[in-house]
Amino acid sequence: MALPAQLRAIQHHLRTAQEHEKRDPVVTYYCRLYAMQTGMKLDSKTPECRKFLVKLMDQLETMKKELNENDSITQEVVGNAHIENYALKLFLYADNEDRAERFHKNMIKSFYTSSLLMDVLSVFGELSDENIQHRKYARWKATYIHNCLKNGETPQSGPIGMDEDEEAVSNLTQPSPTGPPASNYNNIQIPPGAHAPANTPAELPPPSGGVQLSPEDFTKAQKYCKYAGSALQYEDVSTAIQNLQKALKLLTTGKE
């Protein structure tokens, strides 16, 4: 079914959904969910848009039934981590290629797809500043490198050349390849040495030491464990360790 012109803004998200149908249905599901939610805001009145959006809703319902045992679909926090990790993985791949001055179609597409997935993250709530910056940078990079290659010019790597008035993207440092930047998690800074294995468990206060944990603390600890599980799907050990340590610290001290 052809996409009505009024809904053109969601065409790339729908294409990303289609491309991942076999590879990663979770990505497909959330791209379609984003497209449906955005489409409703764009135009849910005219008959052709209405018809298109209803068809999209049916697709989502079918997928939800098919994937009813998948944690990333049934639990939003897991879905959120899945999409965020994947978006960041694409971003880091493209960013590394860019900094090594390897410019090609695949890295342009990775930059662009990561920016689309940052859009999709908005189905889970407000985007973090980090994600907004990554999205802006990735979208600019994809367009800039694409245009350079089209015109036979050699692109410059890194944030050089981004318009000065683009809010201080020159300050954008490359996120460390260990996974989502620490500040994604409610601005928690990882203390130096947090990566070292805890050889001396005796230093930790005993968990049952009467620490009063609020329901919010339990939710946060659960979130860190989910992020860790999601990172392990990508064999990203350091991000998994970071998040498990955060969960442990919260449960043992009641503080983050």
| Lowest-pLDDT range of 11-15, 71-75, 140-144, 230-234 | 230-234
Give me the amino acid identity at 254. G
If you average pLDDT over residues 41-64, what whole number do you get?
Answer: 96
Distance CA 184, CA 9 (A): 27
Higher pLDDT, residue 18 or 220: 18
pLDDT of residue 76: 93
If you average pLDDT over residues 53-75, what whole number do you get?
Answer: 96
pLDDT of residue 169: 42
pLDDT of residue 210: 62
pTM confidence score: 0.66
pLDDT of residue 165: 32
Higher pLDDT, residue 26 or 161: 26
With contact defined as beta carbons under 8 Å apart, do 210 and 252 qualify?
A: no
Distance CA 1, CA 240 (A): 42
Distance CA 73, CA 26 (A): 7
Q: State the alpha helices, DSSP H only, in 125-255.
A: 129-150, 215-233, 237-253
Full set of structural domains in the chain with CATH: 1-74 (1.25.40.270), 84-157 (1.25.40.270), 215-253 (1.20.5)
| Lowest-pLDDT range of 37-51, 131-145, 228-242 | 228-242
Whether 35 has a pLDDT exceeding 80, the answer reads yes
